[in-house]
Amino acid sequence: MMKILLCVTGGIAAYKAIDLTSKLVQRNHEVKVLMTPSAQKFITPLPFQALSRHEVHVDIFDETNPEVIKHIDLADWADINIVAPATASTIGKLAAGIADNMVTTTLIASSKPTFIAPAMNSNMYRHAAVQRNMQDLRAMDYHFIDPGSGFLACGYIAEGRMSEPLDIIEAVEQFESTAHYNNDFAGKKILVTAGPTIERIDSVRYLTNNSTGRMGYALAQAASLRGADVTLVSGPVQLQVPNGVSVVMIESAAEMFEAVTTRMADQDIIIKAAAVADYTTDKVTGKMKKKDEDLTLTLSRTEDILKYLGDHKDEQYLAGFAAETEHVAMYAKGKLEKKNADVIIANNVGDSSIGFKSDSNAVEMFFKNGTSHIIPKMSKLEVAHEILTQIKRDQDVR
C-alpha cells in the first residue's frame, strides 16, 4: 500500500481523476486529493472526498491545524505524488518553481517521486514552450506518463488525451515495485497459471468454476515488476494481461496441461494458481437437444497438472494453490506431500471477502521444510508480492 497525493488541475479530463481515485483506493492505496482553483470549475471536491475518505485540500490559506503547515505536512506524508490531469499551466509553473496554489506549493515542497499525466489540446502539447518545460521537469527527476491519442474536448482526434487510470496506476506501481524490490527476480523465468478451465459438454454448454484469474494475474504482474521473464498460461478470463508478460490462452484442462508441460523445462519457478477442472466430458458434436427424460453425463478424470510437475520437475521451484472451504490447513499439507511441491498456498474460498471474485485475498503458505507463513488480508497484488518474497526467501535458505 502506498500513500498517494493525487493533484487534480483544471482540465476537462478532471472527471477521469474520480475514476483514478476509486481504482487507487480499491487497490488499498491511501489517497489524499489536492485541487487547483481551476480544477473546481470542472468538478467539485465532493466525489473525491467520498471515494478517498479524506478531506480534499483546495486552499493554501486554509490552515485549520496550528500544529502543522498543511502543504508541508502533506508533502511529508506522501510516498508518491500524481498530477492527473496536468495542464500546460501547471507544468509551466512547476518547471519555473512557481508556488501559487495548493497543488504547486505542495509539490515544490515535496521530495517524493512525482508522476505527471499531461492532458491538453494537441497543439498545446506540442508547443515548444510546453515541451521545454517537460524536458526541464524530467531533468529534475519528475516522471511523465505520456498522453494517448483520441477524441479531445476541442473536437480534435489527436495526441493529448490523458492516460487511462489503469495505465497511470500500473506505471506508479511498477516504479514502486522496482524501487522497493530492486529487481530481485531479474534473470529468472517464471511460469504462472491462472483462471478457470472450461470443459465442453457440447458446442454451447460447458462445465467450469468461479475462478476469475485475479490472483494468478496479480502474481504474473508482481513477478514481471520485479524483473522476471514471465509466461502466463491463462484460462478464459476478463482481465488485461500485465505489461511485459507473455500470455498463452487456453480453454480446457488438456490444453493447459499441454501448455505447461511443454514449457516447464525452461522455467526456474512454476506457480500453479489456476483452478483446473478435475473432470471432463465426452464432447457432443453440435448442440444437444432437450429431451423429456433426465440427462446423465459421464465424467472422466483430467490429468493432474500439479502432480505431473512434481513428479517430473528437475531444478524448478514448484508452488501450488489449495482453494478450500473447510479444513484448509489439513488439506493443504496433504496436497504438499502428494504433489511433491515446494510450497502450497492455501486460501479459504468459502470466505466471500477473499474468495474468487474479491479484490483481496488472505493465504497461508505451507513449505516443504515444515514451516508456514500467514499472509493477512490485503489486495491480491500485495499478496502476490508477499508470496514471491517468501518463495525467494525459501530458495535462498536451501
- Binding-site entries: 278, 287, 321, 335, 339
State how far the Cα of 27 lies from the Cα of 382, in Å rounded to an integer.
Answer: 9
Q: What is the pairing mode between strands 199-200 and 206-207?
A: antiparallel
Beta bridge partners of 148: 161
Residue with cell 478424470: 301
State how far the Cα of 226 lies from the Cα of 149, in Å rounded to an integer.
Answer: 29
- The number of residues making up the chain comes to 398
C-alpha distance from residue 303 to each of 253, 283, 370, 395 (Å):
8, 17, 27, 28
For residue 267, the Cα-to-chain-centroid distance in whole angstroms is 23
CA count, 13 A, side-chain hemisphere, 196: 17
Q: Which residues contact 307 (CB under 8 A, 6 or more apart)?
A: 338, 339, 340
Which residues are documented as binding site for CTP?
Answer: 278, 287, 321, 335, 339
User: Which amino acid is present at 315?
Assistant: E
Instruction: Note the maximum CA span of the chain.
Output: 80
Q: Which residues are tagged catalytic?
A: 154
DSSP letter for 98, please: -
State how far the Cα of 201 lies from the Cα of 113, in Å rounded to an integer.
Answer: 53
| Nine-digit cell string for 314 | 528437475
Cβ-contact 333, 309 below 8 angstroms: no
Give one DSSP letter per residue of 204-222, joined into a string: S-EE--S--SHHHHHHHHH
> In the chain, helix, strand, coil percent, each to 5?
35, 25, 40
State how far the Cα of 132 lies from the Cα of 107, in Å rounded to an integer.
Answer: 19
State how far the Cα of 26 lies from the Cα of 40, in Å rounded to an integer.
Answer: 24
